[in-house]
Chains A and B, each alone.
Chain A
């Protein structure tokens, strides 16, 4: 009869003891030891088995056909995988310096250690406050004070307390400069290595007249009640501003939301991000970049300009405008309104009196000027339906052309339909108003008289144009 080996039970007992030891002495870093010394387990296993076999051979007992059975090999391979991944997770810092993958280890095994931060420095009434290479969340509030006061805490994610303590010493809160220009440094950039991660939550109270400049890697900025200008640049930041007296410049490479409410100066948003929410902006607004979320713009008193790689939009004044995934809805726009895009957009405009110039690669356009007198309009969508609702008593000189679609006249005289080519048609008519030119290559046009409900934005009467064919789905750029 084949004798059963003693090694497997011994190993099992050993592993059981190890885990028991860890449960009894929780401060023992069993995973660390395992990550480091697991190959010795293989050596011990093989060594014990070898001794056993030699012992059996010496005492002339029957030998097993194989020293290590196939089932045991499977266990060995499993152990290798576990050991290698443990090692990878624990000790990535030696393997891949500067890599970002190692954060997985921190996320799984690390713990957060908090350290309080506090500092204060006297300032003039209108200082410049500069937040340098900051990572974390900053709440900056303007108040009737003549100091810059910082409170908050630094959070260090690390595998052990000692390493977190060292990181905390390397990254002290520093407030220096003179009363006119105050630098707040958190020195988080000094904390290097991949086995620690540091961020800070700061509550900063500044004099009302402060001008703020912030540069950071990632984090949120929440700025409230400051009459100076704001300049934020960050790799990734969500920004919320309220009650700002000066100009605002935000430059981000990524962002969940950029919100500004009640800004007396101009607002300039640059870079890439998601949502934009602007309300009651007295100055000029420029949005330059790719923002792919929902944008809401309310009560912009000065010209608005949106520039993206594919689209340009400008208007003189905006009361209510929403931009979402290839849709642009606006009411009470003051023009001249200009929009050109090499992409497809569904555009709906209500209550506008100034001139309109729209040129799109595709998408449906729904126009309800609502108010008299009518303004000059030049609207073209390469592929899409166009609907124009004219108020009673409108004066216009209208030409509506569809190269390969129908043009419907629900307005009546003086508009008259003329056939145009084989499939298209043109609607023309004038009663001595400004020129209104509407054209599409591929789509229907409907000109109708406005109903009372048209001041709101109800559903269009025309069917929606299906997505422009012959083009792959594209990320929607605003």
Chain B
């Protein structure tokens, strides 16, 4: 098991939790989802970025 596969595995659940929180904020009239949805995009981007950085570390360690 590596950090990369863990990252990949928790991406879905974390995004789902965020989506739920944003929806809840929308529901309680705190912040409309139409304004907060880019958070999901950013989060997804962060995960992708981490994935991109992750395997490199792995490669270095493997060598």
- Measured CB to CB, the closest approach of chain B to A345, in angstroms, equals 53
Contact between B16 and A68, CB atoms less than 8 A apart: yes
Residue from B11, B21, B27, B29 in contact with A66 in the complex, judged by beta carbons closer than 8 Å = B11
Contact between A87 and B27, CB atoms less than 8 A apart: yes
Number of interface residues of B (CB under 8 A): 23
Task: Kindly state whether residue A161 has any CB partner on chain B within 8 Å.
Answer: no
Residue from A45, A63, A73, A80 in contact with B5 in the complex, judged by beta carbons closer than 8 Å = A63
- CB neighbours of B60 from chain A (8 A): none
Q: Find the B residue at minimum CB distance from A61.
A: B1
User: With A57-B1, A60-B1 known to touch, is A49 a contact of B20 (CB < 8 Å)?
Assistant: no
Residue from A36, A45, A87 in contact with B16 in the complex, judged by beta carbons closer than 8 Å = A45
Task: Kindly state whether residue B24 has any CB partner on chain A within 8 Å.
Answer: yes
Residue from A46, A47, A65, A94 in contact with B8 in the complex, judged by beta carbons closer than 8 Å = A65
User: With A36-B27, A63-B1, A63-B6 known to touch, is A68 a contact of B21 (CB < 8 Å)?
Assistant: no
- CB neighbours of A45 from chain B (8 A): 16, 20
User: With A66-B8, A67-B11 known to touch, is A42 a contact of B16 (CB < 8 Å)?
Assistant: yes
Task: Kindly state whether residue B10 has any CB partner on chain A within 8 Å.
Answer: yes
- CB neighbours of A36 from chain B (8 A): 27
Q: Find the A residue at minimum CB distance from B24.
A: A39
Q: Find the B residue at minimum CB distance from A94.
A: B29
Task: Kindly state whether residue B38 has any CB partner on chain A within 8 Å.
Answer: no
Q: How far is the CA of A109 from the CA of B45 in the complex (A)?
A: 42
Contact between B19 and A68, CB atoms less than 8 A apart: no
Q: Find the B residue at minimum CB distance from A65.
A: B8
Q: Find the A residue at minimum CB distance from B2.
A: A63
- Measured CB to CB, the closest approach of chain A to B8, in angstroms, equals 6
Task: Kindly state whether residue B9 has any CB partner on chain A within 8 Å.
Answer: yes
Q: Find the A residue at minimum CB distance from B21.
A: A43
Contact between B13 and A53, CB atoms less than 8 A apart: yes
Q: How far is the CA of A43 from the CA of B25 in the complex (A)?
A: 12
User: With A46-B17, A47-B17, A68-B16 known to touch, is A57 a contact of B6 (CB < 8 Å)?
Assistant: yes
Contact between B16 and A64, CB atoms less than 8 A apart: no
- CB neighbours of A87 from chain B (8 A): 27
Contact between B21 and A39, CB atoms less than 8 A apart: yes
Task: Kindly state whether residue A452 has any CB partner on chain B within 8 Å.
Answer: no
A-B contacts, 15 of them at CB < 8 A, read A39-B24, A42-B16, A46-B17, A50-B13, A53-B9, A63-B5, A63-B6, A65-B5, A65-B8, A65-B9, A66-B9, A67-B12, A68-B13, A68-B15, A76-B16
Interface pairs A-B: 8 shortest CB-CB: A68-B12, A42-B20, A46-B16, A67-B12, A39-B23, A46-B17, A43-B20, A39-B24
Chain B contact residues, CB within 8 Å of chain A = 1, 5-6, 8-24, 26-27, 29
Chain A contact residues, CB within 8 Å of chain B = 36-47, 49-50, 53-54, 57, 60, 62-69, 72-73, 76, 80, 83, 87, 94
